[in-house]
Structure 1
Amino acid sequence: MCSTKNSDKSEHDLSAGEQTIMQNKIIEVKTVSKAYKGATDMILALNDIDFNIEVGDIVGYVGQNGAGKSTTIKLLLGLMLPTNGEISVLGNNPFKKRIQNAKQIGTVMGQKSQLWWELPLIDSFKFLQAMYDTKDDAWLAQLIDLLEVNDFLHKPVRELSLGQKMRGELIAALVHQPKLLFLDEATLGLDVQTKNVFLNFLMQLNKTKQTTIIMTTHDLREVERIANKIILIDHGQLKFNGAKSDFIAEFKNMEKVEIYQSAILEVPGLKLYQENQDSNVYVFNIDELTEKQLNKIFLEADIISNVRYSDLDLTDILTLSGI
């Protein structure tokens, strides 16, 4: 796991630039654990996790179901207390200052809605503006335009498709221009076009407003596309915390090759990774087995025309890591 470098300087000795960097931590999690009472004993959902998130980060918070992602988000939102450790969100204890923090936080949960089912979509936005005491109609109009919801703005939410509804959910989470946005499986079930609009908007929001985004998703291609940082959790333990590029670089010497034939090919150094209906995918270490060497083997086996090489993506890396 990557860790933040410590300095021997006191805050008084730091330069103005260094102090600005220190103040840019929008989230600090220090040795946090969370235990639940099970049927027979205590269940440890989080085990001494530590991480910082800085202003402007887009963080992919990844791990299998039950890894502790949702528990972490609930702690950061102040919906529950940690068993041990300290949490700071926007400079506050999120449990004690939950209402104060809520004014600067937006959330989109794939399984929960903040829209009014029977009302036109625009009415939900207007109600949320009043609730947050914001009158910035220009910002609302910009959100409506960027997320392309004009065509169904006056339809009742119950008549919207899933993709239309999720665009509305994102606008609802952003009407008050929060500094911090949580997305928990927010794109689950969306079609390709809607997902593309969603992700493009998030990147623009982060670039123009410096909005810090924390996203959990089962589609790791989303993380690979827009995140600059990855936090990987497995069974309540932090496995990685750092730049996405650093995480991927750990596997830079690995490559995939897909062979379009049903028979399994046995070649020293070539490891079967995935069996498909009409092809098989293998992984190999380029320091031990080069493409040139493999091409010679494929040529001799008369299958060279059925071969396709590619780099590992984030999904491959997590699968090969056993996470």
Structure 2
Amino acid sequence: MPASRIVFTVAAVVATLFVLATAFFPGRAAALAGALQDGIVTRFGWFYILSVAIFLFFSLWLMLSRYGRIRLGDDEDEPDYGYLTWFAMLFAAGMGIGIMFYGVAEPMLHFGTPRFSEPGSIAAAKEAMETTFFHWGLHAWAIYIVVGLSLAYFGYRHGLPLTVRSTLYPLLGERIHGPLGHLVDVMAVLGTLFGIATSLGFGVLQVGSGLAFLGWLPATTTNHVLLIAGITAVTTLSAASGLDRGVRRLSELNVLLAVALVCFVFIAGPTVFLLSTFVESVGLYLQELVLNSFRTTAFRHAEWQKTWTMFYWGW
């Protein structure tokens, strides 16, 4: 049986069993998932923080070193798309629903319940923006960069399958084509599936709340399920149509709409204040970059770190 079919079958069976278990035993499933997440972030939270910091500084070093000039393909290959198109697809896939959900919600939540400042104060506003920049800034992209570069390098430079198992070839050798490689890909599929499910859940809550606010559709469980089905159908059609059609066009449309929204807020809102806040927030973010990269809150605010930063890096 081809490796792709084995991986698909095993991942599909595990995912189906998980969905059935959570559907029939929601209380127990929620308790088990909560205990599992709490156990992971309590014991390995420091490892998440350290890993993402290493990813970031490794990516910066790679970009500035001579290795940054290695072409991800044959020496004579040229990019299939321009920078703007690539940016649109990467941004839509990498941030998408998440940044639309948390782009406003996160700074407002930090402003109301900051870690170090008086709630609702100027210091809390600065802290809220700095924290949001940290969660959605360079670190998040560094995680994507390390995985993306590894896949591209071994897939297009060395002709290995474009799967996560190929990134472990220097460690596993030819064993990536056997059961161990299948296990790696199954875990990658499940991790991706649950990560997308999280994003979809946030997006449906946002869309459902917006439709309810406008009076178009009540925010009920049934309507949320219908929204999930509709969004999943559109996403499946987009993926099935390939990069040149659905993925590319939807991504470009997504970025155009995002730019239009930014322009509207910029023009209709307090323009000078927005510019000043942006410049100051970037400065605060860069100023605290190294400290935030290694902050594990070992002495205080441990629960905050578990539910925010460590949750993000795991997601």
Interval containing the TM-score (normalised by the shorter chain)? under 0.3
TM-score (normalised: structure 2): 0.21
TM-score (normalised: structure 1): 0.20
**Richer in helix (by share):** 2
Which of the pair has more CA radius of gyration? 1
